[in-house]
Amino acid sequence: MTLTMTPSQQLLTPQLEIRGGRQLSGEVRVSGAKNSALVLMAASLLTEDSLRLRNMPALSDIGGMGDILGALGVGIDRGSDWVELKADSLNQASPPYELVNSLRASFFCIGPLLARLGVARVPLPGGCKIGARPVVEHVKGLKALGAQVTIEHGVVSAVVPGRGHRLSGGRIHLDCPSVGATETLMMAAALADGESVIENAAQEPEVVDLAGLIIAMGGKVRGAGTPTITIVGMERLHGADYMVIPDRIEAGTFLLAAAITRSRLRVTPVIPDHLRAVLSKLEEVGCRLEPDGIGMTISADHIRAVDLRTQPFPGFPTDLQAPFMSLLATADGTSVITEAIFENRLQHVGELQRMGAAIRTQGNIAFVEGVPSLSGAPVTGSDLRASAAMVLAGLVAEGTTVVQGLHHLDRGYDNIEGKLNALGASILRSNG
Ligand code: UD1
């Protein structure tokens, strides 16, 4: 499992050199879901027993979350694709700023820490290139569960007043179906006194995965995957042995790798319900999809333009907007892509233009006129999914594409170049 980089490794500027124009073939295996794995790791704070998580992806973000939990006193043992966490001697209610700042998902710790210790101080996660990432809904919900919350000097401090310092169940209506807020509040409510209801909850598969874990730990959760989630708080939760769901965004990225190279690939495992909106757009652009119960075989030759708009689940995921744009940059016709979740998530447009794509933007809308071919160029991924979009474009571009900014890519893709090379791509990782 990849751990945090040492200072000497950080000085190097690793890059991928992609020689484009090769068709792909064969079968590719999807790793465990990053966004599930991160929140499930935080859920280890809910019990003093050990929690074993399987199907863990090897990602730098997972190493970062391990560092944060370790700093709180959680014992960690890890193997190639599993991690065992034991929070039996928590000695801190406050993860260090340096660690939190580099990993937004570390804010998840506030819910379980508060539920378990009655107090938590977590630095406010930093801004993010794709747009503001407020935690208003998380804070509002924790208050509804009885916490006193203040934000001062960049730190969110929460304390549960009264004897016992136990949160109490409450009714929370989220103004927007925030994934992070839903997960934070589910974990907090899992140890609260009484029943909690989260209305307008996020319905993402990662929320359902967290509910599955809480149930496996002896908790009671109903309605995950719908807009109303009910959690009955328990006095204590116990350990569990739990399998992380497959990464739907990684699966979508490989399906798009097949589409952009006009190839035939089997991607496995794929849970079609996790990818309905994406699969339907892939069929609309002309791909053929054959689900087989475990995986999905995709074949593509002619790609047509399509319009799409990102939305909360079950709508089209914002995390696949940039990778899908790379495909549409090579389609027949003009596509209109609307990014409706994050206000600044079209930064990959400039880089795709450098590769010959014909894209205009107006606010959060991109008009993508397909071109017959892209050309290799040096490009930089401005965030995780933008980097994946660059890799996809590089697979089909004429000549060599050099993708920089790999610290983003390595946060969320487990050995992407190894997996693509096994399918026939030509990608070399070097140190610039
Ligand atoms: C999670 C995912 C991320 C994905 C995103 C949207 C993890 C670790 N990350 O991020 O990959 O892109 O969901 O699917 O799971 N918002 C508010 N107020 C709040 C909280 C959020 O207005 O208090 C807004 C945000 O500005 C954004 C939208 O809600 O416009 C979605 O954010 P949210 O669902 O919270 O995303 P994350 O949980 O941070």
| 155: helix, strand or coil | strand
Atom of ligand 1 nearest to the CA of 180: 38
Q: Are 32 and 247 in contact, with CB atoms under 8 Å apart?
A: yes
- Strand partners for 400: 19
- Give the Cα separation of 258 and 270 in Å (integer): 15
Three-state DSSP state, 18: strand
CATH 3.10.20.30 for domain 9-31+246-431, yes or no, is no
Q: Who lines ligand 1 at CB under 6 A?
A: 35, 38, 105, 132-138, 176, 178-181, 202, 206, 318-319, 341-342
Separation CA 182–CA 176 (nearest Å):
10
Phi, psi of 349 (to 5 degrees): -55, -50
CA atoms within 13 A on the CB side of 372: 0
- To the query of whether residue 287 is one of the catalytic residues in this protein, the response is no
* CB-based contact 154:124 (threshold 8 Å): yes
Give this prediction's pTM: 0.95
Domain 34-243: give its CATH superfamily. Enolpyruvate transferase domain (3.65.10.10)
**Listed residue (27, 7, 14) closest to 424, CA to CA:** 27
CA distance 330 to 171: 48
pLDDT by 10s per residue, the chain, length 432: 444 444 444 456 899 999 999 999 999 999 999 999 999 999 999 999 999 999 999 999 999 999 999 999 999 999 999 999 999 999 888 998 888 887 888 899 999 999 999 999 999 876 567 777 889 999 999 999 999 999 999 899 999 998 889 999 999 999 999 999 999 999 999 999 999 999 999 999 999 999 999 999 999 999 999 999 999 999 999 999 999 999 999 999 999 999 999 999 999 999 999 999 999 999 999 999 999 999 999 999 999 999 999 999 999 999 999 999 999 999 999 999 999 999 989 999 999 999 999 999 999 999 999 999 999 999 999 899 999 999 999 999 999 999 998 989 999 999 999 999 999 999 999 987
Asked if the domains at 9-31+246-431 and 34-243 fall in one CATH topology, the answer is: yes
Compute, in angstroms, the gap from residue 384 CA to the centroid of ligand 1. Answer: 15
- Taking the CA of residue 38 as reference, the ligand 1 atom at the shortest distance is 8
How many Å lie between the centroid of ligand 1 and the Cα of residue 38? 14
| CA distances from residue 256 to 262, 285, 296, 350, 395 in whole angstroms, order as listed | 9, 11, 12, 20, 11
User: Ligand 1, residues 133, 316, 324, 383: which to mutate, most atoms within 8 A of Cβ?
Assistant: 133
Ligand 1 centroid to 250 CA: how many Å? 18
Q: Where are the domains of the chain?
A: 9-31+246-431, 34-243
Choice among 109, 128, 176, 287 that is catalytic? 128
Q: Using CA positions, which residue lies closest to atom 4 of ligand 1? A: 319
425 vs 394: CA distance, rounded Å: 10
Distance CA 411, CA 401 (A): 21
